Structure 1
């Protein structure tokens, strides 16, 4: 479904991603774990067209994405929930959600998906007329995920969804991620909470300084002594 081959990303003299290969199959939750600065966010930005790779190929459903605009990539079925949520604070919750569907023309489908988002995140329905900036961190994360789902994506890119959230909310967010996946959306997840990320992952890749140093099933990596020492406090 999604294939990354020999991907290099540079910011001037900084070589952030160094020739990585990643594959995401339909129906999977694939997670990238690693320390800050490993290059995980850069990969998601390249996938959604926000950053252009200096080398390598990104293929989605057999089509090369490298030169496509962020708008075209979203239209093709890839939605990105960025690190830090990036909601529109002065707009209402409903307006934020409607923006997620701005490229769609199917009014009935949009209405149906809005109801589905409200069903999944009831708090957003309760606060639909509130300014998004007045929501708590957890509610803003739910709004960012809801907004991405309004594009009716085939693949959801999630960047640090648990960042800054209380442990009880982290569990709730990961439960929602599993539910979204179970209902048919493929997920590529970047997450520093390695324990939670591996617990939901079909497969996982471990990144260090722009390279993939290990990969396997979520369970294999969770059981790995090396991973436990480095990322799980084992």
Structure 2
């Protein structure tokens, strides 16, 4: 579904991604793990069209999307839940969710997807008239995910969904990620919490200072001494 070949991305003179290659097959949950500043979020921003690569290609289904504008990438079925959630604080929960369907014209189907989002996240339904800024961090994460679902993505890019959340809420969010995957959405997950990411992923890639240094099935990465020592607290 997604194939990235030899991607090089710069922030000014800083070489943020150095020849990154990876692939995601339809129906998989693939996770990218690595320390802060390794290049994980840069990769997602490049996939979303928010950053332009200097070299390399990104194939999504039958299209080359590297360098395309963000809105045309969303139209193709790629949605991102950004790091830090980025909800519109002064708008209601309902208005935030509705924005996810901004490019869609199929009113009846949009109505169905609203019901779907509220069935996945009943708490959002309870808070639908509240402004998003009054929600807890976990509720804002639910809202950011609900908003992304409204675009009917075939590929969902999740950037650090557990960041800043209480352990119980992290569990809830990751159970939901599994449910979204089971319902037919392919997921590329960027996550600092390697433990929980590998517990739900099919495969993973380890990124260090802009390079992929390891890849394998989730089980292989969980068993790797290198991954254990660097990302799983040595156990």
Report TM bin, short chain: over 0.9
Gaps of 5+ in 2: none
CA deviation vs aligned residue, 1:169-224 (integer Å, no higher than 9, x gap): 11111100000000000000000000000001111000000000000001110111
TM-score, reference length from structure 2? 0.99
1:151 and 2:169 aligned: no
Residue matched to 1:122:
122
Residue matched to 1:205:
205
Cα distance between partner residues in 2 of 1:130 and 1:172: 21
TM-score, reference length from structure 1? 0.99
Q: CA deviation at 1:126?
A: 0.6
Gaps of 5+ in 1: none
Deviates more, 1:62-71 or 1:194-203: 62-71
Cα distance between partner residues in 2 of 1:69 and 1:227: 35
CA deviation vs aligned residue, 1:64-86 (integer Å, no higher than 9, x gap): 00132100000100000000000
- After superposition, residues 5-44 of structure 1 pair within 5 angstroms as 5-44=5-44
Cα distance between partner residues in 2 of 1:32 and 1:76: 22
| Secondary structure at 1:102 match in 2 | coil
| Secondary structure at 1:37 match in 2 | coil
CA deviation vs aligned residue, 1:124-149 (integer Å, no higher than 9, x gap): 00111100000000000000000000
Cα distance between partner residues in 2 of 1:227 and 1:92: 41
Residue matched to 1:181:
181
Which segments of structure 1 move beyond 6 Å, counting only runs of 4 or more? none
Q: Is the 8 A contact 2:53 2:67 kept in 1?
A: no
1:196 and 2:184 aligned: no
CA RMSD between the two structures:
0.5
| Secondary structure at 1:158 match in 2 | strand
Cα distance between partner residues in 1 of 2:150 and 2:208: 33
